[in-house]
Amino acid sequence: MPETHDLTPGSQGSQLPVISLFSGAGGLDLAVERVADEPLDIPRSATLGPFRVAVATDYSSQALETLALNLPGTAILPSDIRDTPSSELLRMGSLQEGDAALVIGGPPCTPFSKSGFWLAEKRESRDPNASLLEEYVRVVAQTRPEAFVLENVQALTYRTHQVAFSRLLAALKELGYNPQWKTLLAADFGVPQLRKRVFIVGRRDGTAFEFPEATHAGPSETTRVWDQSKLPHVTAAQAFQGLIGVPEDGELVEGKYGDLAAEIPGGQNYLWHTDRYGGRDEFKWRSRYWTFLLRLSPEKPSSTLQAQPGPYVGPFHWENGMDEAGRQRARRLRVPEMLRLMTFPDDFQIVGSRADVQRQIGNAVPMELGKAVLRALSLQLGHVEPRTEAEHEALDRRQRRSILV
């Protein structure tokens, strides 16, 4: 019978080892180690949970430096997974085949991301990086964890990538893991961001994983009617509560579109400056990407944070700043604000320049979304105890009160 862990603060127990692939800055890793934390707990102090990330690997040594700062007990291996034997991962984690409770990770989403969709090789799933999905399967096959969690962009499930996606599911099924998949909206799990990600989860015993029910609901690009009994989506303004504004170098949007960006209201984008809205008639209708000159609405969750945005790609803050010439200028999101939109801890440390920080955050898994999936898996594997009805009610009341603050 699997060992169970109480999720109440201060609980103790031997922690189960996890192998992390394509770890990046450690969003999913953080979710693994904080799965015992209450949702959206601010300050987000860690509670001892059932898992520990024994070893993490990624091609980016800089991202692993970030991970090491925040998860100092994890062995890190900067390497290309295609050149990394599973035996080396097991050795560094002091593990044998079958020891790991989980293998987790999100193979780089470049082959399947909308941001690169215009390239023919990406549209046709011919990008060589698509083979990284096969590397993930290889590690699962050779380490035999109790379960795995694979995360990727929603576009992986599109018809244009059907061959690669079907091959991935078939390979995992052949291993006996009975993979289940679902596209989840981060905002439906308390993340103040309208970010969609697909999760594939499988168990070594072949039992079908059941995805968690959404805890929040609200409007989105594809939703106009929603469950009013659930908690409302967390807005950007609510996420930023309590932050002390400290200007960052380069945060103001200058250059060719500086004046235009500053005039766009919160929640609008370049379309404000077409003949259909109240701004200047500068652009043709639907002639740019949606994120071009996009401003956050304080009353809604953020759109997806971009990993490598151009100089005029949002979302930008709804408030303006003042440049040295005394002109109003839209401003970029500050690092503490981006951390809040990803539901990362306020004290999360990130290595590198401002562009490095944005890339690492934009490529990460929002912590609360990862926690929702991993908590459901932990419950179904018997590694944690479910909350009592009274605990559920108390948590619901606390969350509803926080929304009204």
DSSP one-letter string for 377-402? HHHHHTSBPPPPHHHHHHHHHHHHHH
187 CA to centre of own chain: 11
Give start and end residues of each alpha helix (H) in 175-292: 236-239, 258-263
Q: Which CATH class is domain 16-227+350-404?
A: alpha beta
| Residue 220 pLDDT | 83
356 carries an active-site annotation = no
What pTM was computed for the model?
0.89
| Cα angle, residue 325 at apex, residues 323 and 329 outer, rounded to 5° | 35
Q: Which of 225, 404, 191 is nearest to 300 (CA)?
A: 191
Give start and end residues of each alpha helix (H) in 73-226: 86-92, 120-123, 132-143, 162-174
> Could you state, in order of their start, the residue ranges of all structural domains in the chain?
16-227+350-404, 247-333
Q: Which of 81, 58, 84, 82 is nearest to 71 (CA)?
A: 58
| Residue 21 pLDDT | 98
Asked if residues 231 and 258 have their Cβ atoms less than 8 Å apart, the reply is: no
Asked if residues 218 and 282 have their Cβ atoms less than 8 Å apart, the reply is: no
Crossing angle of helices 354-362 and 61-70, in 10° steps, is 80
| Residue 225 pLDDT | 86
| Residue 315, preceding peptide bond in cis (omega within 30° of 0) | yes
| Residue 45 pLDDT | 58
Considering 109, 137, 330, 372, which one is annotated as catalytic? 109
Cα(147)–Cα(202) distance, integer angstroms: 6
CA atoms within 13 A on the CB side of 86: 17
Crossing angle of helices 162-174 and 132-143, in 10° steps, is 10
86 CA to centre of own chain: 25
At 159, which amino acid appears?
Answer: R
| Residue 4 pLDDT | 45
Name the DSSP letter for residue 150: E
Q: What is the pLDDT along the chain (405 residues), one digit of tens a residue?
A: 444 444 433 343 489 999 999 999 999 999 999 998 877 654 455 677 899 999 999 999 999 999 999 999 999 999 999 999 999 999 999 999 999 999 999 998 655 444 443 334 444 444 454 589 999 999 999 999 999 999 999 889 898 888 889 999 999 999 999 999 999 999 999 999 999 999 999 999 999 999 999 999 998 877 788 999 999 999 999 999 999 989 999 999 999 999 999 999 999 999 999 999 999 999 999 999 999 999 999 999 999 999 999 999 999 999 999 999 999 999 999 999 999 999 999 999 999 999 999 999 999 999 999 999 999 999 999 998 887 776 666 666 777 666 655
Q: Is the dihedral of CA 28, 352, 236, 182 positive or negative?
A: negative
